[in-house]
Chains A and B, each alone.
Chain A
């Protein structure tokens, strides 16, 4: 029996399609279904062209196939509003849910910081925060593992072309969810998030800035070493993740300047924001698959 976890992707938009392209290369997760709600959608057609089955009747349409196709993990790239129901229905059938919406009903997952804990506990719903959160919270954590962080602030600048209508309509959810994860996962006592949409042509690569205020004088050598190690961790699944400048020390302020270049799977390479979300989500499912294969966790029993 193959040890690959069989997967369904819900939402055939930019994120879902990019995720599918990455998953086709995975040694641990195998995409089986793409789920949408519009039979005529481009995204479903693309999915069929890429060799997976398409379901145009939403999550309800996939439920009857879950056991037959041994679906073990689902990726939800729809919206916060749809997510709660999607998750409930699939969890009931023993499907692990990786949530790429800002719904955040499960714990936040930033792979290099807390994925291992979630996998050991077999969390049935994990939330991937936001693109800006994936790019920056590892850095907040890199500082907070050295010394207490009073305040963590991030600025994510993304190219206009890479920001879809869902994010624009609900931009507050980005700032709220990211700020909350800066505290809960990044380890800052207070978190703040800012997102800037830049329409420059040709589109700019995603840039992310992390400012933290440490409690007491920052331990410059230890923080610099920790940040560099964390950058290397993120690079294992996002090769285009780069420390451009910093860490800069100015009193208690530590500033870290990052750039995220994507792999250019579905959207061009400037859309590192898209890439870091899908790469982190896939990495999450892959670790669950490895832990299951190694017998560290047992997937929900099926008759």
Chain B
């Protein structure tokens, strides 16, 4: 497999996916410091939003320390060359919220649906594309759809106006061969000018390997999070991606030493706990469960005495999708009642 000479656009996730791991409590100062340092290191794209996207602030997902508008309007003006994107999940966020984010100066939006429900994103993708934003269709939990289904859904997003489509391994469940099959099938189906991306989680330790497989199969945009700060065992760590791609002769334009300093000096010290493949996140990856369920399952374990592992396994069996955090407490109540009767 050679990816020598390939140009890769990295997209920084620590200030959006990392919000899950920080219970959405990253401060505005931390956002500015990390985004500015990543900008300085040459990171082309940085995502800044509540972990569950625009409008994610809720009882169900957690209220962030600040509004999306406050975060975005603090970070965007500080960027010298990096562009800022927002995440939007139709059903949670609306076009109205996207308009507010546009007023804050975002350059791109990633519109995310479960991998089989792309047609819920038509309203948002169409609007974003019309305004000239970099418009990305983001197919979450992509392990739940085979290559053919994923191609069909990617084509829908492209038809609405997305200039880039992502295969998103929200559960960190995929293995490199799964990535290769999906990315190469989508690449063959999309228009040549439509970009293709991959978003990995490290729950099975495959974040970097999967990202490399994605590039080899034709993806040119890759998500990473500095020091891995993201949901579950975190995203593919940005500094690792930069080092590995450099060793393989691919070009990211990101300065390895600067980005590893951001990881070590800014991001690691603010972690609530080490982001690593621990028991809970390993179960996410093994069972194919949405990564942001992890902390909710651990809280439910504390309150109701049902092991987080049992909860996560059962949520996987029941086919829960991203956004169904409410079903964690519900299941814990049901299981604790069954255990005591």
- Give the interface of A toward B (CB within 8 A): 151, 153, 155, 157, 160, 165, 168-172, 174-176, 192, 194-201, 204, 207, 209, 211, 213, 244-246, 248, 253, 255, 257
Is B320 a contact of A194 with CB atoms below 8 Å?
no
A-B contact pairs, 11 of them (CB 8 A): A168-B117, A168-B119, A176-B94, A194-B60, A197-B113, A198-B319, A200-B319, A211-B58, A244-B334, A245-B329, A255-B326
Bound-complex Cα distance A211 to B324 (A) = 13
Q: How far is the CB of A243 from chain B (nearest CB, A)?
A: 11
Q: Which residue of B lies closest to A258 (CB)?
A: B330
B contact residues around A248 at 8 Å (CB):
329, 333
Is B58 a contact of A171 with CB atoms below 8 Å?
no
Since A176-B96, A198-B114, A207-B326 are in contact, a sample of 12 more A-B pairs with Cβ atoms closer than 8 Å, ordered by chain A residue number, is A155-B323, A165-B119, A172-B94, A176-B94, A192-B55, A198-B321, A199-B144, A200-B319, A200-B321, A204-B319, A211-B58, A211-B59
Among A170, A199, A204, A245, point to the contact of B123 (Cβ < 8 A). Answer: A170
A contact residues around B326 at 8 Å (CB):
155, 207, 209, 211, 255, 257
Is A175 a contact of B94 with CB atoms below 8 Å?
yes
Q: How far is the CB of B12 from chain A (nearest CB, A)?
A: 27
From A165, A171, A211, name the one whose CB has the most chain B CB atoms within 10 angstroms: A171
List residues 13-51 of chain B with CB under 8 A from any CB of chain A. none
**Is there a chain A Cβ closer than 8 Å to B5's Cβ?**
no
**Is there a chain A Cβ closer than 8 Å to B90's Cβ?**
yes
Among A165, A176, A196, A199, point to the contact of B323 (Cβ < 8 A). Answer: A196
B contact residues around A204 at 8 Å (CB):
318-319
Is A153 a contact of B58 with CB atoms below 8 Å?
yes
Q: Which residue of B lies closest to A169 (CB)?
A: B122
Bound-complex Cα distance A207 to B324 (A) = 10
A contact residues around B329 at 8 Å (CB):
245, 248, 255, 257
**Is there a chain A Cβ closer than 8 Å to B120's Cβ?**
yes
- Give the interface of B toward A (CB within 8 A): 55, 58-60, 90-92, 94-96, 113-114, 116-117, 119-120, 122-124, 144, 318-321, 323-324, 326-327, 329-330, 333-334
- Given known A172-B94, A207-B327, contact A199–B117 (CB-CB < 8 A): yes
Is A199 a contact of B94 with CB atoms below 8 Å?
no
Bound-complex Cα distance A171 to B98 (A) = 14
- Given known A153-B58, A253-B59, contact A196–B324 (CB-CB < 8 A): yes
Q: Which residue of A lies closest to B118 (CB)?
A: A168
Among B92, B117, B120, point to the contact of A194 (Cβ < 8 A). Answer: B92
Q: How far is the CB of B121 from chain A (nearest CB, A)?
A: 8
Is B123 a contact of A172 with CB atoms below 8 Å?
yes
Q: How far is the CB of A251 from chain B (nearest CB, A)?
A: 11
Q: Which residue of B lies closest to A179 (CB)?
A: B94
Q: How far is the CB of A70 from chain B (nearest CB, A)?
A: 41
B contact residues around A155 at 8 Å (CB):
60, 323-324, 326
Q: How far is the CB of B293 from chain A (nearest CB, A)?
A: 13
Is B90 a contact of A198 with CB atoms below 8 Å?
no
- Given known A171-B90, A172-B96, A245-B330, contact A199–B321 (CB-CB < 8 A): yes
Bound-complex Cα distance A151 to B58 (A) = 10
B contact residues around A160 at 8 Å (CB):
116-117
Is B91 a contact of A194 with CB atoms below 8 Å?
yes
- Given known A194-B58, A197-B120, A245-B334, contact A157–B114 (CB-CB < 8 A): no
Is A171 a contact of B91 with CB atoms below 8 Å?
yes
B contact residues around A198 at 8 Å (CB):
114, 319-321, 324
Q: How far is the CB of B94 from chain A (nearest CB, A)?
A: 4
Q: Which residue of B lies closest to A250 (CB)?
A: B303
Bound-complex Cα distance A201 to B113 (A) = 18
Is A199 a contact of B91 with CB atoms below 8 Å?
no
Bound-complex Cα distance A33 to B112 (A) = 41
Q: How far is the CB of B163 from chain A (nearest CB, A)?
A: 21
